Structure 1
Amino acid sequence: MNDKTNTIFGIYPIKEALSSQVVFDKVYIQKGIESDKIESLIKELEKTKVTINIVPFEKLNRLTKGNHQGIVALTSPVAFHSLESVVEKALESDKTPLFLVLDQITDVRNFGAILRTAECTGVDAVIIQKSGGAPVSGDTVKTSAGAIFKIPICKVDHIKDAIFYLQGSGITTVAATEHTSNEIYAVDLIKPLAIIMGSEGKGVSKSVLTLVDEKASLPLLGEINSLNVSVACGAFLYEVTRQRRQ
């Protein structure tokens, strides 16, 4: 196991980690590999609901220089929470619920910075998708300044399903997007709320935008037409804080 990269590779090291209840973030399996031992290991890994990716041999070589035997796992420094449990807990608390949904944030440093801001603004939980997003790694811990250990993180199969669940629980969903003239300052953020932030390159996906209750933007007064996602997220969350403290 490499502590710097949180990477475990090889059949027996991963099997040992699994029996030791190590939390896995993602697992990569070599495409086309035929191995009874790996097949058996996959069945055990599937019980943990970890994301399993089938990738080319070259991908595994990039992840580690060791003898990976066709399987590489990324471990997580934290345990993940179920969406149902964090929503239930938030609804039962005395404070107004506030959730943050990250739609395919891929940069680890952005992810860590967002977690730090989320913790500072009283977010109840951060919701991410199992596939496609930044890994929960040592770099995430460092950039979050330890906030990752203080705020629940939920991994879901699909962001859209999470939005449906939040809405069904009485949570208003608001997506950050430049494709609206409705500025965040005009949106009622005092009610139970989930803010949705999109990826660095594409923003909130179109399929998600069609589901949310409201869309909101930040005013851009210069020549550049977009903000870094962690900066935009901070502006949104602190507007929530401002409204709720009035």
Structure 2
Amino acid sequence: MDKDTTIFGIHSIIEAIKSDKTIDKVFIQKGLRGELFHELEKLLRAKGINSSYVPVEKLNRLSKGGNHQGAAAQISPIEFHNIDDLVMASLESDRMPLFLLLDQISDVRNFGAIVRTAECTGVSGIIIQKKGGAPINGDTIKTSAGAIFKIPICKVDHIKDAVFHMQSSGIKVIAATEKADDYLYDLSFKEPCAIIMGSEGKGINPSVLKVVDEKAKLPILGDIASLNVSVACGAFLYEVMRQRL
């Protein structure tokens, strides 16, 4: 955790939440009790903020000797966009809409690399879930080469919410998955579209796969069955760019 994106102490975290700071995740010491702790728990549930209970040793490491008082929180260094406004602005712009939906990408370096490629390929915006994904921290910023500050990012309760939003706005939703029959190169990306990339371990949630418009896979000739998600994402985005140029 980075000092400029981290706060410690239950009081400080409660005040940050009440001040509408964008909190990525809260770490709470296992076994913590007390009135303030219960107030924090209530706020986290009400705001849908990602949290986890950890041993005190982890908080000691995260705080690097600071007085954490049993809790630490990671504040997002960026402001998140509203998905309604972003989709509307994209549809009204001169550029063909292209969105990226990330279904719980958990590694910050993968996330940062995807953001960097997305910015280079003209992606209109990136949609992530409020819970389960990689936090936006110093490693994300570094791996993205600063692209995290240049591309709009939205948070939704569930990726399916974003899928339905895209579809109702006339945007085709394509899942990048090895469970597809079609190769990436068989599809047309010359209309407004959104590409879903799944998590490193589980891929795209089966419930999400059921509601997409199309599925596509990359050809694999080697013995290893899949590519790193950021590499696969780059292949998809550059095929979109190739078709649209």
- What are the Cα deviations for residues 122-178 of structure 1, in whole angstroms up to 9, with x where unaligned? 111101111111101110000000000000111111111111111111110000011
Q: Helix, strand or coil for the counterpart of 1:51?
A: coil
Q: Does 1:189 align with 2:203?
A: no
- Cα RMSD for the two superposed structures: 2.3
The alpha-carbon deviation at position 88 of structure 1 amounts to 1.1
| Partner residue in 1 for 2:108 | 108
Change in 2 beyond 3 A, CA 1:51/1:182: same
- Following TM superposition, by how much is the alpha carbon of 1:208 offset from its aligned partner in structure 2, in angstroms? 1.0
CA contact under 8 A between 1:80 and 1:154: conserved in structure 2? yes
Q: Which moved more, 1:25-34 or 1:139-148?
A: 25-34
Structure 2 equivalent of residue 128 of structure 1: 128
Following TM superposition, by how much is the alpha carbon of 1:56 offset from its aligned partner in structure 2, in angstroms? Answer: 4.3
Instruction: Choose 145-154 or 175-184, whichever is displaced more.
Output: 175-184
TM-score (norm 2): 0.89
Tell me if structure 1 keeps the 8 A contact 2:44–2:51.
no
Q: CA shift at 1:15, angstroms?
A: 4.5
In 2, Cα distance between the equivalents of 1:128 and 1:112? 13
Residue 46 of structure 1, CA deviation: 6.5
Q: TM-score if structure 1 supplies the norm length?
A: 0.89
Q: Distance in 2 between matches of 1:107 and 1:228?
A: 11
- Residue in 2 aligned with 1:28? 27
Sequence identity of aligned pairs in percent?
61
1:60 to partner: Cα distance: 4.2
Given residue 90 of structure 1, which amino acid in structure 2 is its aligned partner? S
1:3-54 per-position Cα deviation (integer Å, ceiling 9, x unaligned)? 27x321102333554577643212234455433334445566667x461425
Question: Which residue number corresponds to residue 51 of structure 1?
Answer: 49
State the match for 2:9 in structure 1. 10
**Cα distance in structure 2, aligned partners of 1:2 and 1:94:** 38
Distance 1:77 1:212 in 2: 31
CA displacement at 1:116 relative to structure 2: 0.2
> 1:59-70 to 2 correspondence within 5 Å?
60-61=59-60, 63-64=62-63, 66-70=66-70
Question: May I ask how many residue pairs the two structures share in their alignment?
Answer: 243
Aligned equivalents of 2:173 and 2:26: distance in 1? Answer: 31
Residues 1-246 of structure 1: pairs in structure 2 closer than 5 A: 2-3=2-3, 6-15=5-14, 17-18=16-17, 22-30=21-29, 33-41=32-40, 49=47, 51-58=49-56, 60-61=59-60, 63-64=62-63, 66-245=66-245
1:93 Cα offset (Å): 1.0
Give 5+ residue unaligned stretches, structure 1: none
